């Protein structure tokens, strides 16, 4: 089992460009979420999903969109990249509401110039 | 708003020492607490999960305790090894089970 897979691992964008960060899991977990990690700010929740077709905002959702059409995939879209979105992005999954051990992907390092 | 603090921010010890890493949180209404390890440039690896009804969990040389009422958790590492060098993060799950709040981490260096 691959667990939680994120692609790409590295990306450089120009200001104003759009892109999608991919997250796929083969653990059959219901819950999926996106975090960003910044020096001095720690990890912060961007968006999360408690199941296919259901998404909600986290702590820092502005500038990001998500959708969850399948249990396995939870892409994060940047519509118009800004330098403030330079960060390391992590996708995480948990089994369900009752068992919430979180598993993380290896991260996507994004630089917006 | 939940706040999670980890002390110390950095720690350097000789190999073989027993270590205690501290984590405190401001809101005791948590669902569980999880300790992670993060190596430079890598993702987070789950070490231990403590449910809110539990007092401690053990895995090999690691032991984590939880005192919900005082808002504290400790991660005890026995007989530290250079391979333990990494950043250790604690995180608490809110009662809705949909959000982890992370501490800033403790960067550990174990010298041979």
A15-59 tens-digit pLDDT? 999 999 999 999 999 999 999 999 888 899 999 999 999 999 999
Minimum mean pLDDT range among A84-88, A95-99, A104-108, B51-55:
A95-99
Residues A84-93 have a mean pLDDT of 97
CA end-to-end span of chain A: 36
Q: Which residue of B42, B96, B99, B104 to mutate against A (max A Cβ within 10 Å)? A: B99
Q: What is the overall mean pLDDT for chain A?
A: 94
Tell me chain B's radius of gyration from C-alpha atoms: 13
A-chain residue closest to B31, CA distance = A100
Rounded Cα–Cα distance for residues A20 and A91 (Å):
13
Residue of B103, B70, B68, B72 whose CA lies nearest to B88: B103
Q: Are strands B86-94 and B30-38 parallel, antiparallel or unpaired?
A: antiparallel
- The verdict on a CB contact (< 8 Å) between B42 and A107 is yes
**B 79-108: CB under 8 A from A:** 89, 91, 93, 97-100, 102-105
Q: CB atoms < 10 A from the CB of A68, how many? A: 19
| Contacts with A70 (C-beta within 8 Å, 6 or more apart), sequence order | A52
- pLDDT higher for A90 or A96? A90
Q: How many CA atoms lie within 13 A of B100 on its CB side?
A: 33
**How many angstroms away from the CA of A53 is the closest CA of chain B?**
16
Q: Which residue of B43, B89, B104 to mutate against A (max A Cβ within 10 Å)? A: B43
A-chain residue closest to B50, CA distance = A101
Rounded Cα–Cα distance for residues B62 and A66 (Å):
37
> What is the pLDDT at residue B17?
97
Q: How many CA atoms lie within 13 A of B22 on its CB side?
A: 8
Q: CB atoms < 10 A from the CB of B99, how many? A: 20
A-chain residue closest to B39, CA distance = A106
In tens digits, chain B (112 residues) has pLDDT values of: 899 999 999 999 999 999 999 999 999 988 899 999 999 989 999 999 999 889 999 999 999 999 999 999 999 999 999 999 999 999 999 877 778 999 999 999 999 9
- The verdict on a CB contact (< 8 Å) between A43 and B91 is yes
């Amino acid at each position: 089992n691959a667990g939680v897979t994120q692609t790409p691992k590295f990306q450089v964008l120009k200001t104003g460009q759009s892109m999608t960060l991919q997250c796929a899991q083969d653990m059959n977990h219901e819950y999926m979420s996106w975090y960003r990690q910044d020096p001095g700010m720690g990890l912060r929740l961007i968006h999360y999903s408690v199941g296919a077709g259901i998404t909600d905002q986290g702590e820092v959702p502005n500038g990001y969109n998500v959708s969850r059409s399948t249990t396995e995939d939870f892409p994060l879209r940047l519509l118009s990249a800004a330098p403030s979105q330079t960060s390391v992005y992590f996708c995480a999954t948990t089994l369900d509401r009752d068992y919430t051990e979180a598993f993380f992907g290896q991260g996507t390092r994004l630089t917006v110039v | 708003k939940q706040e999670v603090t980890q002390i110390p921010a950095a720690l350097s010890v000789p190999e073989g020492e027993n270590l205690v890493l501290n984590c405190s949180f401001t809101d005791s209404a948590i669902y569980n607490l999880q300790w992670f390890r993060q190596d430079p440039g890598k993702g987070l690896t789950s070490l231990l999960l403590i449910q809110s009804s539990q007092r401690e969990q053990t895995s090999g040389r690691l032991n984590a305790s939880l005192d919900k009422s005082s808002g504290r958790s400790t991660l005890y590492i026995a007989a530290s090894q250079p391979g333990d060098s990494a950043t250790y993060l604690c995180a608490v799950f809110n009662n809705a089970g949909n959000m982890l709040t992370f501490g800033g981490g403790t960067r550990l260096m174990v010298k041979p």
